[in-house]
Copies of this chain bind each other. A is one copy, B any other.
Amino acid sequence: MSTTEFTGRVRKEIDEALFSWIDEQRPGLLAITDDLAPMMTALDALLAGGKRLRPAFCYWGWRAAGGPDGPAIMSAAASLELLQASALIHDDVMDASDTRRGQPAVHRRFEMMHRAEGWPGVAESFGAGAAILLGDLCLAWSGLQYENSGLDDATLQRGRGVYDLMRTEVMCGQYLDLLEQARGRNTVESALRVVEYKSAKYTIQRPLHLGAAMAGADQAFIDVLGAYGLPLGIAFQLRDDVLGVFGDPAETGKPAGDDLREGKRTVLVALALEHATPAQTAVIDDRLGDRELDAEGVTALRTIITDTGALTECEKMIEQYADAARATLAAAPISGEPREALTELTVAATARRG
């Protein structure tokens, strides 16, 4: 991600708002008992990483709609990172992922603690249970940080509806994703529906809406932000899907080909299946989702995704959605810092490498 004047400063101030809020919660939690310390350690480790994309889009939606700068909006925006932490922790349990942001996933961290302590019982169950609870805590805390951000109640009230919608949408999107994986075969259309709810709305469109709604934007302005944010969010997720298959582990923080091993039924995979020969289809059916997939298997699937033209087509879709976002932004009644920052975030969300 960028570190230019506008987005670099915002990233830093969002981090400050996030970490100082967490530090305020810490004593209360540890006052119950020191036994809760591993929960905080796991949360600290998770929050050390991350691009703060959702808070950034929320902040710039607010500024684009004329909201004034200050620590309160930073704290309200930062609360979205706790919502994201909740989603990631639960997502990793559901996908049985080993790593997140280059570190052990939260449930794996608690599994290791269970083993290190030599406790009886099943370490995996303890890990999953602790991660479910830490995710729940992050979900509750996201709402708490928002409410305690210091924004006045009229401002918070204007945002509450969007915040609620955002939570419902991302959970439904995650369920649709789970369904998509469960059913095995998918289509470009069904995969795009998951992208829309699980990712595009949640990551970009709704954070922009939240910021603008809090700032008191009218419906026309909200609609313009939506018309910019939705295609950008789709492009963002399609880039994520490409990185999940072809990304460099040093930049993504995930093992090479991790999405293939987890059997993710992405738009990229749906495109490959559309154009695959029967032999290629058989390889996809056989290897995609194979937990033991080795480097050779990853290469075989990557080759099919490239040879079928799926990668080229997906890159073309990313470009088209990003173009649509750029065109909407160009015509939008947004100027000054917010325009420059959103222009920069548009590049960062679609051309990123990790």
Contacts and interface: CB of A to CB of B under 8 A. Distances in A.
Interface of A: 25, 28-29, 32-33, 35-36, 39, 86, 90, 93-94, 96, 114, 117, 119-121, 125-126, 128-130, 132-137, 139-141, 143-144, 147, 153, 157, 160, 164, 167-169, 171-172, 174-176, 178-179, 181-184, 193, 197, 263, 289
A144 B323 CA distance: 36
B184 A90 contact: no
Nearest to A29: B172
Contacts of A93: 128, 132
Nearest to A175: B133
A161 to B, nearest CB: 9
A244 to B, nearest CB: 18
27 contacts: A29-B172, A32-B172, A32-B176, A32-B197, A35-B176, A36-B172, A90-B133, A93-B128, A94-B125, A94-B133, A114-B182, A119-B184, A120-B184, A121-B181, A126-B178, A129-B178, A132-B132, A132-B135, A133-B175, A136-B171, A140-B164, A140-B167, A140-B171, A143-B143, A144-B164, A144-B168, A147-B160
Contacts of A193: 33
A186 B113 CA distance: 18
B121 A171 contact: no
A128 B95 CA distance: 11
A289 B263 CA distance: 34
A40 to B, nearest CB: 11
A137 B176 contact: no
Which of A117, A137, A160 lies at the interface centre, i.e. has the most chain B CB atoms within 10 A of its CB? A137
Contacts of A121: 181-182, 184, 263, 289
Contacts of A32: 169, 172, 176, 197
Contacts of A128: 93-94, 128
A128 to B, nearest CB: 7
Contacts of A39: 172, 175
- The 9 A-B pairs at the shortest CB distance, nearest first, are namely A94-B129, A140-B167, A120-B184, A137-B171, A119-B182, A144-B164, A129-B178, A133-B175, A126-B182
Contact of A94 (B33, B132, B139): B132
Given A90-B132, A94-B133, A121-B289, 9 more contacts: A25-B168, A28-B168, A29-B172, A33-B176, A93-B128, A117-B182, A120-B182, A137-B172, A140-B168
A174 to B, nearest CB: 5
Contact of A153 (B126, B153, B174): B153
A124 to B, nearest CB: 11
Contacts of A114: 182
Contact of A133 (B29, B129, B174, B263): B174
Which of A117, A141, A164 lies at the interface centre, i.e. has the most chain B CB atoms within 10 A of its CB? A164
B137 A139 contact: no
B35 A179 contact: yes
Contacts of A141: 168
Contacts of A197: 32
Contacts of A36: 172, 175-176
